[in-house]
């Protein structure tokens, strides 16, 4: 192959990857549209779109995230665990979606009668690191608290939330999280799924 052929080949490969990525993103959008439909979305149909997105672009981490989300909501814990495990091999320890996959893996393992705590413990470590960088990270605050609840450490979660030193603006959000957590029962939530 001469240099021009190699360049053309690389351009065609790049264009094919962009097309696959675009198609993958479109499949995700279709799945999200289905999940946004009222109280009873068709998680099976949404999961099919997310699975298609993964097939179109196996590096699309967002596709794995939504696929695992639909699978856990359907009660397909075995498949959710596999999806989360696959995604965990694709993301490093600093990837923003890693703790979500850890939580999906941990909850799925629990529902399958296995020990999911190590996955959720790692998620808590991740959230702690994020909070060291930004104590106002409400996503990390909320997810750390709920992960602690899933670990059946609700009291620790409430102490964590009540001892946070945040500004007035964030205090209202923290109060809402505390109020929603008051009645949170991991066993009941997991039973519903």
pLDDT tens figures, 75-108: 999 999 999 999 999 999 889 899 999 999 999 9
- pLDDT computed for residue 20 by the predictor: 56
**How many domains, in total, are found in the chain?**
2
Tens of pLDDT, residues 21-44: 789 899 999 999 888 887 788 999
Does residue 183 share a domain with residue 134? yes
**Domain range enclosing 61:** 18-74
- pLDDT computed for residue 128 by the predictor: 94
Does residue 136 share a domain with residue 174? yes
Does residue 104 share a domain with residue 63? no
Does residue 109 share a domain with residue 176? yes
User: What does the block give as tokens for 192?
Assistant: 């519903």
Given the structure tokens 């549209």, which residue do they identify? 33
Query: Taking the chain, what is the end-to-end CA distance rounded to the nearest angstrom?
Result: 56
Does residue 145 share a domain with residue 67? no
Question: What is the distance between the alpha carbons of residues 118 and 109, in angstroms, rounded to a whole number?
Answer: 10
**Max Cα–Cα distance, the chain, nearest Å:** 68
Does residue 47 share a domain with residue 23? yes
Does residue 79 share a domain with residue 54? no
The pair phi, psi for residue 141, each rounded to 5°, is -60, -55
Radius of gyration, CA atoms only, the chain: 20
Q: What is the pLDDT confidence band of residue 170, given thresholds at 50, 70 and 90?
A: confident
Does residue 175 share a domain with residue 80? yes
Ordered alpha helix ranges (H), 75-116? 77-90, 98-111
**Residue 166 domain-assigned (yes or no):** yes
Question: What is the distance between the alpha carbons of residues 72 and 80, in angstroms, rounded to a whole number?
Answer: 6
Total residues found in the chain within this entry: 193
Does residue 171 share a domain with residue 140? yes
DSSP single-letter state for residue 40: S
Read off the pTM.
Answer: 0.81
- pLDDT computed for residue 177 by the predictor: 86
Does residue 180 share a domain with residue 110? yes
**Residue 11 domain-assigned (yes or no):** no
Q: What is the pLDDT confidence band of residue 46, given thresholds at 50, 70 and 90?
A: very high
Does residue 106 share a domain with residue 43? no
Q: What is the pLDDT confidence band of residue 51, given thresholds at 50, 70 and 90?
A: very high
Given the structure tokens 């639909």, which residue do they identify? 70
**Residue 62 domain-assigned (yes or no):** yes
């Amino acid at each position: 192959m001469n240099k021009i052929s190699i360049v053309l080949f690389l351009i065609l490969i790049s264009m094919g990857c962009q097309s696959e990525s675009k198609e993958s993103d479109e499949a995700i959008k279709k799945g999200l549209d289905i999940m946004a439909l009222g109280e009873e979305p068709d998680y099976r149909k949404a999961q099919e779109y997310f699975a298609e997105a993964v097939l179109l672009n196996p590096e699309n981490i967002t596709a794995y995230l939504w696929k695992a989300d639909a699978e856990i909501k359907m009660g397909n814990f075995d498949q959710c665990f596999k999806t989360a495990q696959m995604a965990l091999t694709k993301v490093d320890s600093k990837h923003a979606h890693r703790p979500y996959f850890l939580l999906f893996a941990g909850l799925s393992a629990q529902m399958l009668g296995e020990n999911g705590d190590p996955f959720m413990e790692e998620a808590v470590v991740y959230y702690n690191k994020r909070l060291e960088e930004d104590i106002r990270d409400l996503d990390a605050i909320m997810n750390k608290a709920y992960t602690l609840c899933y670990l059946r450490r609700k009291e620790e979660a409430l102490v964590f939330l009540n001892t946070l030193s945040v500004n007035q603006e964030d205090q209202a959000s923290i109060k809402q999280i505390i109020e929603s957590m008051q009645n949170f029962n991991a066993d009941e939530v997991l039973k519903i799924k």
